[in-house]
Amino acid sequence: MLDSDFGPDPMALLSREVLRERAAALIAEACAWAVGLSDHPHHTRLRGRVVATGLTIGARAATGQPLSGEEDGRLELGDARPGSFQDALNTVTAEGTLYAERFDREVIDPFVRDTCVRAAERARDTRPREWAELLDELGEDGADLAEVVQVGEWEAPLRIDAEHLVLAALGSAPLVEVEAEGLPLSLVRAAEAVTRAAAPPAAPEPGPAVDELAGALFLAEAAIGAAGLPRPVPVAAADRLLDVLLAEGLLPEEVPALLPHLPVEPGTAAEVRATIAALGLGG
């Protein structure tokens, strides 16, 4: 693509190099994504229809039963150890897709895209002549590195490398251990999301610290589990949910920001917000 000093496919090689450097971060993100997966209802495909088994993914894994079936799983994820992270990825969702597809969409794709952009930044900053030649070949001006990455089509092969890294590190590990490893980062990610969602578009006011939000989220999850509420919490249990959260010591004004990140139905979240507003609990 460029001169011989830069290699026959320089960006592909450089992207792989950056991915290897970020392998630990990728594994951490995968673990964080897995948090809560054990609480999801387990589904299987029976005579062409997706049906619930009556157990959660975690409960089924704890009894040593396979999570995934052979009918519509990915071949590369087959022969997984029952209850492992790889087995969970190959499990069918209530919508009839695989958790592996959700994992690709929510973890692999954005991580690979960011990795390619970082590789492009490195190429631009350390090899300006070759970078200029590459931009000329692609017909790009380099102002938007994400656009350069898209045109260069370096993401697709790197996704395969990223998937192999995750499976090599976590594939055979029990799902519950992967979740435990990812819990701290998961709480931070959820708190960051709450902070972004709560911030107004201009002149944002200082909100709770990330650590405080992470702590509130942890308390809320623990309270729901201890109360034995169904997941996701249905509308009929909205009042019970609010009582449980307040009894755990959460402040009324904290609850609305946490609801999008808790295992509750959309209608339940709306009902809880309405109750808080009606009773004037939000301050």
Domain identity same for 153 and 212: no
CA–CA separation, 141 vs 136, rounded Å? 8
How many domains is the chain built from?
Answer: 2
Domain identity same for 72 and 154: yes
Domain identity same for 35 and 140: yes
pLDDT: is 203 or 76 the higher one? 76
Which band of pLDDT confidence, cut at 50, 70 and 90, is reported for residue 202?
A: very low
CA–CA separation, 118 vs 139, rounded Å? 20
CA–CA separation, 180 vs 186, rounded Å? 10
Give me the domain span that covers residue 51.
1-173
Per DSSP (E only), the strands in the chain are 41-46, 49-56
Token pair in block for residue 164: 């192999």
Q: Which of 115, 109, 122 is nearest to 156 (CA)?
A: 109
CA–CA separation, 93 vs 255, rounded Å? 28
pLDDT at 71: 66
User: Does the pLDDT value for residue 207 go beyond 80?
Assistant: no
Average the pLDDT over 13-42 and give the result: 94
Domain identity same for 135 and 251: no
Domain identity same for 87 and 208: no
Domain identity same for 7 and 143: yes
Which band of pLDDT confidence, cut at 50, 70 and 90, is reported for residue 63?
A: confident
* Inside any domain, residue 13: yes
Domain identity same for 64 and 160: yes
Which band of pLDDT confidence, cut at 50, 70 and 90, is reported for residue 124?
A: very high
pLDDT: is 51 or 5 the higher one? 51
* Inside any domain, residue 182: no
Give the containing element (helix H, strand E) for 191: helix 175-198
Q: Is the pTM of this model over 0.85?
A: no
* Inside any domain, residue 112: yes
Place of tokens 């006011």: 205
First to last CA, the chain: 62
Give the model confidence (pLDDT) of 67-111 as tens digits.
Answer: 887 766 676 677 788 999 999 999 999 888 999 999 999 999 999
pLDDT at 206: 43
Domain identity same for 56 and 98: yes
Domain identity same for 207 and 98: no
